[in-house]
Chain A
Amino acid sequence: MTGEIRLEGVSRRFGPGAPAADAVDLVVPEGSFYGLLGPSGSGKTTLLRLVAGFETADAGHILIGGEAAESLPPERRDLGVVFQSYALFPNMSVAGNVGFGLRARNLPRRERRSRVEEALALVRLEGLAGRRPHALSGGQRQRVALARALAIRPRALLLDEPLSALDRALRAEMQVELRRIQREAGVTTLFVTHDQEEALTLSDRIGLLRDGRLVQEGPPREVYRRPRTAWAARFLGEATVFEGTPEAGGLTLADGARIGWTDAAPGARLAAIRPEDVTLLRLEDPVPEGWNALEAELEVSIFSGPTATHRLRRGDLALAALTKGGEGPAAAPGDRLVLAWPPERTAPLEG
């Protein structure tokens, strides 16, 4: 319980328009890595700032380690925060930055020094204690920010888009590092990002935010495989969304084609499939027993090395299929192909 973060009915509104947080209920279990994902303006940073104490909720409760935190100022919440800009103190060395929270806690000098060393070792920056922030690379600054937040041994770690300032290669490396450091420190982490892949890669659980509301949450695999709404399906990767008339175990499209699923979803009018679940067949190829099959016209194939994306059209419906780069039937734009997929890969949607 010591590091659990719990939000109960938390709301926050800035002026008119959509609220930044609308009755959000959310639990970050102790020791887990929770990724809060949403487009810009969805209120994810506001939620993080509410937890950190930089903003005050209009309604609801925030509990950190089971303790009510609403009335605590930021300095008494005992949370490590890593900012998007890193916010390293330019007037202090790396060691000064990492030791800042320990000085604020009036720890004796000897303990401060050993905890600074320990935190720098955790982020593998042992040799740089004397450097100034401006003399560091982006990746090193990120590590210092992390070490500074962890040195105080916080009840939980809050990360606000911590990797967005890094270039692609460094970001991939830091994702792995971030997860290693979080595991080694065993610290409960709430992480905010707009990058779907990053959230899926890093998190034990993800929460999807839209207009201040928590739309869906769960383990990444589950949320990806079984999005609850068309918005969630499209936001978390690519999806083809079908709309039709409900029937037993599936739906019928306006043109009469049938889409089947295996979930119990009576009355669902919408369904989604992921491009990578689709197998592309020629018209004369046999369709595996029980699979869904839809004929469509190929519009374009985009080869991108290991994979190729194929865009197809069936009347008004745009479909996508993903194959390995060199595979799939040889076809040219305008050719008719069959998209086939097993019914358990169809995700029925709400709404």
Chain B
Amino acid sequence: MSGRAWRNAGRLWLALVLLFLYLPIAVMAAMSLNASPFYQLPFEFSWRWYEDLAGNRQLQRAAWTSIWIAATTAGLATALGTAAAVALHRGPRGRRVLEALLFPPIAVPWLITGTAMLVFFFLVGIGRGNGAVLVGHVALAIPYVVLVVSARLRALDPALEEAARSLGASRWTAFRSVTLPFLAPGVIAGALFAFAVSFDQFVISYFLQAPGETTLPVEIYAAIRKGFTPEINAVSSLVIGVSMALLLLVARLVRFGDLR
């Protein structure tokens, strides 16, 4: 085959992969705007399911719970994760071991992590509830923040902080006025990651929630078991829209970070 044919074959392959990834989502988004509750074609445009959603108190409450837990998770995990990344970057004794210990929480199946957390939280008296969910999500999100911020730290010229010190800035002032602004793209990307990790989390939330207080993914799961309505398509489409917007923002920030 000629180079051109290879290139075209490559493009076709890429198109197929993208189709595979996005077609189900696109179908769901389309069905959330279809008037028929039984996915009947022809497609008939309607805001009906979004209107229903606006009246669904339970889903809304779950959405708000998800949002505040995700936002708080993002704040806490970013602060803790950034501090951890900076500490690791200074090269303490046992740095390699500490770094290696960051990865298992990402690799271990959530089902197992969730069970472990549930057992542990009962043991130490935290029990179940939104507090437990929050702690679980923060623990889960920290490694992501550390990874993203560490990548940025590797590009940091150690002389920057030294220059600030030699000019009269204390250790803290040097960090705040020079290092932190340099890390900002990584820190913001880490925060968005943490938000997404928490917002999309199902298993851990399911294990740690007290009855009656649910996050959105758990509520959706419960709703599906009761009987599927296109209302779920509507709320899922909204969630996907928000998640994609966040991820695009992350991609942009990370790329910006590399450029500078």
Contacts and interface: CB of A to CB of B under 8 A. Distances in A.
A73 interface: yes
Given A85-B157, A104-B173, A79 B166 contact: yes
Main secondary structure of the interface of B (DSSP, over half): helix
B168 A105 contact: yes
A84 B162 CA distance: 12
B182 interface: yes
A101 B181 contact: no
Interface string B26-54: 00000000000000000000000000000
A100 B162 contact: no
Given A54-B162, A87-B159, A100 B167 contact: yes
A54 B182 CA distance: 21
B165 interface: yes
Most buried by A among B164, B167, B168: B167
A101 B167 contact: yes
A74 interface: yes
B260 interface: yes
Interface string B170-189: 11011001100110000000
Contacts of A149: 166-167
Interface string B142-178: 0000000000000001011011111111110110011
Contact of A101 (B159, B168, B260): B168
B182 A87 contact: no
Given A52-B162, A83-B162, A104 B182 contact: no
Most buried by A among B157, B159, B164: B159
B260 A73 contact: no
B257 to A, nearest CB: 11
A87 B158 CA distance: 8
B100 to A, nearest CB: 24
Contacts of B177: 89, 100
Contacts of B164: 89, 100, 104
Given A90-B260, A91-B178, A91-B182, A75 B170 contact: yes
Interface in A123-166: 134, 148-149, 152, 158
Most buried by A among B177, B181, B182: B177
Contact of B166 (A77, A85, A90, A105): A77
A151 to B, nearest CB: 9
Interface string A55-76: 0000000000000000001111
Interface string A257-280: 000000000000000000000000
Contacts of B181: 89, 91
Given A104-B173, A134-B260, A87 B162 contact: yes
Contacts of A3: none
Interface of A: 52-54, 73-81, 83-85, 87, 89-91, 100-101, 104-105, 134, 148-149, 152, 158
Interface of B: 157, 159-160, 162-171, 173-174, 177-178, 181-182, 260
27 contacts: A52-B162, A53-B166, A73-B165, A73-B170, A74-B165, A74-B166, A75-B167, A75-B169, A75-B170, A75-B174, A77-B166, A79-B166, A81-B162, A83-B159, A83-B162, A84-B159, A87-B162, A89-B177, A91-B178, A100-B169, A104-B168, A104-B169, A105-B168, A149-B166, A149-B167, A152-B167, A152-B168
Given A77-B166, A89-B181, 11 more contacts: A52-B166, A73-B170, A75-B166, A81-B162, A84-B159, A85-B159, A87-B159, A91-B181, A100-B177, A105-B168, A152-B168
